[in-house]
Structure 1
């Protein structure tokens, strides 16, 4: 069974007014120093991002969806427990509902980004969700990338969780996608055909003096033997994060099988895929998506059904099919993170109320969250323990 892991980016927010606060350095110093007294049984990997108002939490690779779900939840709780100690919270929001002037993290890499990309980098406070899935070789990885391209906009729609930008409703379900696509190499790619062609393009982009590392929608990881799928907003509800991970692994499995059986990839152009991504970003699941087969608008529920049918065999082989089917039905019923943020705004009447709602949902452990035999415990001291059931 292929292993998979995720990277979740979170906003660090003021619990009183909902504004992002530049406290990533303080949170990470607490993490690096370790806990006082007895060490917890669980400490995730954490990292800085471009802006000090955000924090990244990284899981270990897992073969079981249940184990990954447990670590996603525990990682959120752990990061929030550290944020509490510096007077903040973490919130799974793709963009800040409230206006913010971000504070850049001082590293050589980020300094170079700010110098080169100017306002694009200075304004870039967005939180994404990246899924890594193991592959046997670069050739298999490229075969996978070539065969999952048409389905990536559906993941954008499903995970959409960034309707607000700079204090206003953007009109988009995933405005993070719009902001992210200002990077010069962001977005969909053409079919590569081989690992050599992929590496040649990466080298050519590097040679332009513009691109430091390609920001493709999906790419080979430079550090791990994985493909990295990067189109999703950070998910408001951790159940949605688990669902996206399950679907991504199933897409990778299905694509690798198709490649081994000699099936050619869909040769749809990157230009058309960009239109599919725009539609997904604009409407989420509240409008029509482009059908990956016909490239014509189709009801979002039908496109989700087509995605499930496409990966059903892989989901059944891993035992993830019931969780995936239930998750898709749940999101169609209750709405994406973007829809739920807008509902919270209607109830609260303020953007600060949206952040307060999102902060609560970020750490909520619904009774139906766990796909398989894991449990969470939190001690009185707030230390999160991951406990095998």
Structure 2
């Protein structure tokens, strides 16, 4: 983003070039290390990934470190980085170069052109595709709560959308996005994915945009519902909860417990409600699909995964993070509070850029 106006800048190429130079210039660096930063669909975006980590304190340190690196690379291109899931100020995004992105632009038109949205994906390892699909089938009702907790996109093209997480509404314009049915087995999952690609509507497996999916690259379950988070501690909370969900679901599968047969239509309503409310309005309870308070929905999630959290020594950290989230709110609440206090939307971006790199 531009540090003065808050407008998104199409300079990710320059930031990535700065990251590449830094890789070569490190003592002993040979340029062959796995890159932390990658380009995304639009030139206004910079994506990063952490290495595989099992301890949540280490994960927090890694996120803070890489955000600081991103800020330095952006500064070399005359920009700042802001961890916001949509741009508060008006923008006409620029599709990135490359055959894949060009194909997406031609295939999906305005959907691809406007898709300047930033999410937070959490990967958790599984032993097999069969276990992974069993997990996917059992975590479906809980994902909307994660969306609500992470909501960080209240503004779109210079307007307050009335949603805490408007990114989810934009993201669901993709024809493969959103909640999915229970699969029942790894074979059925892969059959469905192949059938979707064979239609010609999707280019490849990377365009299977389910709320949660088997990774096409790693032996993991990948949960994709969250907005990118303004506070660096929030993705750590999400990671702990997602690992807890995967562990809990895997144990239920091994014990022979069937997944809840919640209809996909209800899950879509839960997803809409989460994007609309965030943590500042009602949600649908993951076990009953009836309206409840955000506090009760979050507590239901915590109780559901508590044993797994304890097994990984995450319970105290998660409870502290919940208290912090309750006190400060999510990114959507922070953005709206700044705007209500008299900050222009450009100034909201500038302040978010400062918050992005705080430990």
Which TM class, normalised by the smaller chain length? Answer: over 0.9
Other-structure match for 2:70: 79
- 2:42 and 2:24 map into 1 onto residues whose CA distance is 28
Which among 294, 302, 305 is matched to residue 300 of structure 1?
A: 294
Per-residue CA distance 1:255-308 (angstroms, 9 max, x = gap): 111110111101101110000000000010111110111110001101111110
Match of 2:46 in 1: 55
Whole-angstrom distance in 2 between the partners of 1:287 and 1:66: 31
Separation of aligned partners in 2, 1:265 and 1:85: 50
What is the match of residue 97 of structure 1? 88
1:336 aligns with 2:330: yes
Displacement of 1:43 in angstroms is: 8.3
Q: Could you say if the C-alpha distance between residues 137 and 176 of structure 1 is closer, same or farther in structure 2, counting changes exceeding 3 Å?
A: same
Higher mean displacement: 57-66 or 37-46 = 37-46
Please give the residue correspondences for 1:176-325 in structure 2 after superposition, counting only pairs within 5 Å: 176-212=167-203, 213-325=207-319
Equivalent runs, 1:14-163 vs 2, <5 Å = 14-34=2-22, 38-39=26-27, 45-163=36-154
In 2, are the aligned partners of 1:44 and 1:59 still within 8 Å (CA)? Answer: no
Change (3 A) 1:43 1:112: closer
Write 1 or 2 for the structure with the bigger share of strand: 1
Query: C-alpha distance in 1, partners of 2:28/2:341?
Result: 38
- The structure carrying a bigger helix percent of its residues is 2
1:310 deviates by 0.4
Q: Distance in 2 between matches of 1:218 and 1:108?
A: 26
Q: CA deviation at 1:33?
A: 2.2
Q: State whether residues 125 and 220 of structure 2, in contact with CA within 8 Å, keep that contact through their aligned partners in structure 1.
A: yes
TM-score (norm 2): 0.96
Unaligned runs of 5+ in 2: none
C-alpha distance in 2 between matches for 1:262 and 1:106:
48
Q: Partners of 2:176 and 2:23 in 1: how far apart? A: 40
Tell me the alpha carbon deviations over residues 83-125 of structure 1, each in whole angstroms, 9 at most, x when there is no partner: 1111111100000000000111011111110000000000110
Q: Secondary structure at the match of 1:89?
A: coil
